[in-house]
Amino acid sequence: MSRIHILYENPEWLPPIEAALKDKDVNYKLQFVNDGSFDLAKAPEEGVYINRMSPSSHTRGHLSGVLFTRELLQWLEFHGRRVINGSRAFSLELSKTQQDIELRRFEILTPMTVVVVGKNKLKNAARNMPLPFITKHNQGGKGLGVRLFNDLENFDDYVNGPEFVNDPNGINLLQEYIEPKENFITRVEIVGGQFVLAMHSSTEGGFELCPAEDCDEATDIFCPTDNKNGRFSPALEISPNDDLILQYIKLMEANAIDVAGIEFVESSDGLRYTYDINTTTNYNTDVESQLGIRGMATVVDLASKLLAIDYPEVSMC
């Protein structure tokens, strides 16, 4: 049976996409992908697959999710199944280093970033960083490991102390801090090569800026999901024809990224630095309602169109 398959590990992210699927009356199947098995010689079920695996799955007890999904995507693609955000997109999702390289390849401005493998190398690497700087995980998610440091003494204490959070693979980044011209970063949402929306996320409360509205980590400082403090708002000044947006679309097309939320910050001198590509993007319902847009509906529309192309015999209600 041809249908849309949702590969997921976080059930709290399902309601918006399930609502969009039900509204369109599309046949779909949920597939939890933390662990399992598959026969390489057998063909997967027919249909279009949407990859919703998050790089932060290990923080929800799904340590095997990333590894299982990486192999699963290769199997699906070998057998000709269309995957929205397939193996190439997923590879970028798991590595901010690879993201930075691709941004540079398309001549998109990024902050100075140093890759550090091994906790014992962090303090030495920091001596070559301009102050202030930010720490990040290479396999990002939920803002884990994101900290701002204004001096090396506090950084050394953090690395040596109990609050240090290591990247799941031991790869950490030191990144130049770009002080924003105004107290927000901008996130651009693109689906199927089309601009969907742009939103501002206030930086006054910190750097962990997940825009999801509902999440089991609603009280987690790394994932502030309610908008009661007005942290998220539409970025009405961003045009679909903005040169930066067009660069993002070219990058996404070249890397087989179907769905992404890409973040940038404008510096005090007016330069726009891009620093993050999120392919398991979530949408904030307050911003959507203000704009009259449903982000997940655009994802389902894309999946439905691909399903009709691959399986024209499927009747779409």
Q: What is the CATH number of the domain that holds 122?
A: 3.30.1490
Residues 255 and 164 in one domain: no
Q: How many CB atoms lie within 10 A of CB 115?
A: 14
Domain-terminating residue out of 176, 193, 215:
176
> According to the model, what pLDDT value does residue 292 have?
96
Strands 3-8 and 47-52: parallel
Q: Looking at residue 63, what is its pLDDT?
A: 80
- Report helix angle 14-24 to 295-310, nearest 10: 50
Same domain? For 82 and 26 the reply is yes
Q: How many domains does the chain have?
A: 3
Q: What is the pLDDT of residue 301?
A: 98
Task: Provide the pLDDT for residue 224.
Answer: 30
- The answer to whether 258 touches 243, Cβ cutoff 8 Å, is no
We report the CATH number of the domain holding residue 24 as 3.40.50.20
Each of the 317 residues of the chain gets a pLDDT tens digit; together they read 799 999 999 999 999 999 999 999 999 999 999 989 999 999 999 999 999 999 888 888 888 999 999 999 999 999 999 999 999 999 999 999 999 999 999 999 999 999 999 999 999 999 999 999 999 999 987 677 899 999 999 999 999 999 999 999 999 999 999 999 999 999 999 999 999 999 999 887 655 445 554 443 433 332 334 444 568 999 999 999 999 999 999 999 999 999 999 999 999 999 999 999 999 999 999 999 999 999 999 999 999 999 999 988 765 44
The rounded distance, in Å, linking the Cα atoms of 155 and 241 is 41
What is the four-CA torsion angle of 198, 201, 207, 208, rounded to 10 degrees?
-80
Q: Is residue 62 part of a domain?
A: yes
Domain membership flag for residue 141: yes
Domain coverage including residue 35? 3-92+301-310
pLDDT at 222: 29
Same domain, 250 and 185: yes
Q: Which long-range contacts (CB under 8 A, 24 or more apart) does 217-225 make?
A: 217/12, 217/142, 220/142, 222/142, 222/143, 222/144, 223/142, 223/143
In a domain, 98, yes or no: no
> Among the three residues 176, 206, 226, which one is the final residue of a domain in this structure?
176
Q: Could you tell me if residue 108 is inside a domain? A: no
pLDDT of residue 223: 37
Statement to judge: residues 140 and 73 lie in one domain: no
